[in-house]
Amino acid sequence: MLKDFSRPDDGLNKDERKAAKKEYQKQLVSLLQPLKEAKIPVIILVEGWASSGKGSLINELISEIDPRFCSVFSLDKALYDCDRYPFIYPFFKAIPEAGKMLFMDSGWLMRAVNEDIAGKYDKKTRAARIQSIRLFERQLKNNGYLVIKFFVNCSRKTQLETQERLLADKNTEWRVTRADILQNDNYKNYQDAFDSWMESTKGTGWHILDGDNRGTVSYDAFKIIADTLSRAIADGKYDAPEYEESFSPSDPLPSLDKCDLSVCIDDTTYKKELKKLQKEISELHDIIYRKKIPVVICYEGWDAAGKGGNIRRLAKPLDPRGFDTYPIASPEPHEKARHHLWRFWTKIPRSGHVAIFDRTWYGRVMVERIEGFCSENEWRRCYNEINEFEKELSDWGAVIIKFWIHIDKDTQLARFNDRQNTPEKQWKITDEDWRNREKWPQYEQAVSDMLKKTSTEFAPWHIIESVDKKYARIKALRIVRDALKRASKDD
Amino acid sequence: MLKDFSRPDDGLNKDERKAAKKEYQKQLVSLLQPLKEAKIPVIILVEGWASSGKGSLINELISEIDPRFCSVFSLDKALYDCDRYPFIYPFFKAIPEAGKMLFMDSGWLMRAVNEDIAGKYDKKTRAARIQSIRLFERQLKNNGYLVIKFFVNCSRKTQLETQERLLADKNTEWRVTRADILQNDNYKNYQDAFDSWMESTKGTGWHILDGDNRGTVSYDAFKIIADTLSRAIADGKYDAPEYEESFSPSDPLPSLDKCDLSVCIDDTTYKKELKKLQKEISELHDIIYRKKIPVVICYEGWDAAGKGGNIRRLAKPLDPRGFDTYPIASPEPHEKARHHLWRFWTKIPRSGHVAIFDRTWYGRVMVERIEGFCSENEWRRCYNEINEFEKELSDWGAVIIKFWIHIDKDTQLARFNDRQNTPEKQWKITDEDWRNREKWPQYEQAVSDMLKKTSTEFAPWHIIESVDKKYARIKALRIVRDALKRASKDD
């Protein structure tokens, strides 16, 4: 791709190109407001050789854009605190809000190539990275993101000249890192790596800019951006296809029908077991922490099913330095304006830590589906997006445990009434709870779909019978104990 | 304080204490909803010796609290990415929303003591830290935060026994860090340091818990928390005093009256100067980056004064890896629910980086004052809070540059009309702009107060005459150039 690249002559002379560039730049500025109105979030990924002028290009691209419409991402800055997170994490974390543009000074291509050349990837990891990048780009596209990918190409000679110039001045020498020099020393290897990674992550395609021909770089970039944005605004909302990847389902596949809610536990056994399990979990948490295994525990369930009490019993033996509990409510405006998984991606635990979610990303296929807070296409696509998300976490090494805290309708009624009639519990019950209750059959259908479509080998659902809350706690803690034990024995 | 501490006997036997503790715990749970309704944010700071059981105490304290009401802070975790930020930064970043409780597993006391014992403080730094902590606690209090401070005290012997027990097991040995062992080896030094720092940061007072007497620790903590919360809820909103610290004003003290708006620049000079200044700033940015000097640049000004274009000229020569521009709109719900400076504290640049704010924390003494979005007491107190904030940044080493982009009322009208009549500019003008314009005299008063009260030696205001936008850009860039030059020559 890169070796054979040479920019076709467009027949413009220097002045003509300069004038045309001005026009494209003007056009870009005039598209900002329509873009905002169309609620299209845009990512402009600028990849390329070290010292090829990516930074200057971005500065020129944004030079007429009001900061309200754009922000700039820098790979170096973004990786600062990301060594204990999945590959995609720093990029997902940075995605812009609808109607805004993010300019990225290197991103997933450079990260992958650097890590690959540094010998960090075996064959399996390499395949997983390619898969991560593809899924990430597809999810972005399906969720309305416009991604424009550039690669600033330059010859070994041009790169060397630039680096020598920068190194000659003590104030600019920091711009040339060891890794940059390594690129020039091993230009051929890097070229092969860039080529192969670009080929594997073609997606919507790469635009190669000719860095040896400085005068054309920003002209070409402005033209491509202006053209692509105009087209996207004219096309309107991208109609994402429904698609289904095959993920191996968990065995057994949990089902509400097979569920016996009469199970219970006596008080003496409960107390003894609880103590024992909490001690075991506390010890396992130490191992998990030491071995840097990330753990994600999800709680979903009927209102008043006993999620809160269950979570508290689980959290008690955990060291506060190593876990966080996230209560999930409806999304705030800055969350709603992004990919629906963004607010969860930004909460995943650092490796070695535990994150407990009190309600989760499954809200989209439950309450949002039922209340019509998202389109049918959106929630239908979502099962797959969630599986991909959880697969990503699992491939990274995370233990994922998902609980559906289950009760029957009568039990819920009794607990609602109890809340209503007990002054200190009244805050726990709202009109919304009563309204949701009326939609029990729809929720039942949604739960059943969710269990069927998202109980995978790597992230199985567990139904926790919770008419007897004590039974439920013991069951959940046992599952956590077993999962942590398995994980801490691996490797 | 610590040496002479022994817990007075309360005459309770073990069972009585256990029963009483249960009651306090119940009371705490019953106070959560009233706390939320009273919109009181609460910080429970648990400081104390290493291996004194702070983690277990916090776990017990939160064990019956629904995660929707509380979260846990851990100093180790919080410091992970904070070495290039001011002392107070990780704590300010973590402050809870109104109605929620944050439990802190060590905080500013432990950080200060550790850094002090490690020999990082000279006399001046120590005094600055004490000042930072005092101001931080005072600002929290004045902004409605309830801070309860505990210190878990224990003897050298108890600490040693615990550490030996933890070290004996390979899964718990990581809990005892080198720093923890150092504490036991140098118990006496640490005791003196704790004593002296606690004395200096008494604020609302410390509650010392007797860690040698394990049975009483959580009992005492529950009692104190329950009592303090009840009192706070009964008392209602804390009525913060207006107060004024003396900060040396900048010389000259800028004033709108003395401002000659007829200044202008010819096009040739403009182009030449702009190019030269951008080149100089680009070079200075390299030095700033290398020397790890943080830079904060604030833009305030009349609507249509030309802030955006000014910022773009300034941003152009900056390397995207080293700066961010933050457009500031009205606060989102999660921002409104916290100290008004929280959303700015969380955006300050890492040392060596530049942050440009397109509108700033001065919103409170401008639009919020005039529109009544905050109380009079709040905006009156705010000048001082802002000075303290900027002083904190300045003491940390930041260069702070503040611009008031100035035009007269007729110029604004002309620009508004131009925006209204030019299709691609229409998005820039809203009904709100016209409404604000009607309040010109009130804004003029607010600007004048702001300039008088917050133009300090360490963070002076610069009025930028912007009827001729080109003149304004050159003037602003010159000021930035000069400030960066000065800063890069220091040390």
pLDDT in tens, A92-139: 999 999 999 999 999 999 999 999 999 999 999 999 999 999 999 999
A446-470: average pLDDT: 96
Q: What is the percent of chain A with per-residue pLDDT over 70, rounded to a whole number?
A: 100
pLDDT digits (tens, 9 = 90+) for A69-99: 999 999 988 887 788 899 999 999 999 999 9
Q: What is the percent of chain B with per-residue pLDDT over 90, rounded to a whole number?
A: 80
Q: What is the mean pLDDT of chain B?
A: 93
List the alpha helices (DSSP H) in A106-213: 108-117, 123-142, 156-167, 178-185, 187-200
Give me the DSSP letters along A337-386. TS-TTHHHHTTPPPTT-EEEEES-GGGGGTHHHHHTSS-HHHHHHHHHHH
Contact B317 A356 (CB under 8 A): no
Is the backbone peptide bond immediately before B252 cis, with ω within 30 degrees of 0?
A: yes
A51-86 CB burial, b ≥16 within 10 A, e <16: bbbbbbbbbbbbebbbbbbbbbbbbebbbeeeeebb
**B424 band by pLDDT with thresholds 50, 70 and 90:** confident
The domain made up of B14-235 is a member of CATH 3.40.50.300: yes
CA distance A222 to A26: 10
Among B57-71, B301-315, B383-397, B469-483, the minimum mean pLDDT is found in B57-71
CA distance B224 to B216: 12
- Looking at this protein, which amino acid is placed at residue B470? K
Among A5-9, A387-391, B45-49, B446-450, the minimum mean pLDDT is found in A5-9
Chain A positions touching B171 (Cβ under 8 A) are 283, 286-287, 290
Q: Has residue A202 got a pLDDT over 60?
A: yes
Which residues make beta-bridge pairs with B465?
B406
Give me the DSSP letters along A11-74. ---HHHHHHHHHHHHHHHHHHHHHHHHTT--EEEEEEE-TTSSHHHHHHHHHTTS-GGGEEEEE
Contact A29 B424 (CB under 8 A): yes
* Residue of chain B nearest A428, judged by CA positions: B33
Chain A positions touching B62 (Cβ under 8 A) are 312, 315
Contact B315 A62 (CB under 8 A): yes
CB pairs under 8 A between A and B: 129
Residues 6+ apart with CB under 8 A from A378: A340, A364
Give me the DSSP letters along B457-471. SSS-EEEEE-SSHHH
Nearest to B59 among A320, A327, A334 (CB): A320
- For residue A174, the model assigns a pLDDT of 79
Chain A positions touching B310 (Cβ under 8 A) are none
Optimal mutation site among B171, B283, B324, B332, interface A, most CBs of chain A within 10 A: B171
Q: What is the percent of chain B with per-residue pLDDT over 70, rounded to a whole number?
A: 100
Contact A72 B324 (CB under 8 A): yes
pLDDT digits (tens, 9 = 90+) for B99-158: 999 999 999 999 999 999 999 999 999 999 999 999 999 999 999 999 999 999 999 999
Domain range B256-489, its CATH number among 3.40.50.11540, 3.40.50.300, 3.40.50.620, 3.40.47.10: 3.40.50.300
A134-155: average pLDDT: 94
Q: Has residue A178 got a pLDDT over 90?
A: no
**B239 band by pLDDT with thresholds 50, 70 and 90:** confident
* Residue of chain B nearest A59, judged by CA positions: B316
Count of CB atoms within 10 A of residue A23's CB?
Answer: 12
Nearest to A172 among B29, B286, B316 (CB): B286
Contact A76 B30 (CB under 8 A): no
Nearest to A171 among B283, B326, B333 (CB): B283
CA distance B366 to B442: 9
Question: Could you give the C-alpha distances from B471 to A65, B407, B481, in angstroms and in order?
Answer: 21, 12, 15
Q: Has residue A362 got a pLDDT over 80?
A: yes
Contact B319 A71 (CB under 8 A): no
| Positions of CATH 3.40.50.300 in chain B | 14-235, 256-489
pLDDT digits (tens, 9 = 90+) for B191-214: 999 999 999 998 779 999 999 988
**A491 band by pLDDT with thresholds 50, 70 and 90:** low
Contact B356 A172 (CB under 8 A): no
Separation of first and last alpha carbons in chain A: 39
Nearest to A77 among B29, B65, B321 (CB): B321
pTM: 0.83
Query: What tokens appear for A279 in the block?
Result: 């001690």
What is the Cα A205 distance to its own chain's centre?
A: 21
- DSSP character at residue B47: E
CA distance A139 to A161: 40
Q: Which residue has the higher pLDDT, A424 or A22?
A: A22
ipTM (interface predicted TM): 0.72
Chain B positions touching A321 (Cβ under 8 A) are 55, 74, 76-77, 105
Residues 6+ apart with CB under 8 A from B320: A55, A58, A59, A72, A74, A103, A105
Contact A356 B286 (CB under 8 A): no
Contact A55 B327 (CB under 8 A): no
Query: Shortest Cα distance from A287 to chain B (angstroms)?
Result: 6
Contact A316 B424 (CB under 8 A): no
Question: Could you give the C-alpha distances from B35 to A172, A311, B32, B39, B69, in angstroms and in order?
Answer: 54, 22, 5, 6, 9
Residues 6+ apart with CB under 8 A from A138: A203
Q: Which residue has the higher pLDDT, B465 or A3?
A: B465
Query: Shortest Cα distance from A361 to chain B (angstroms)?
Result: 17
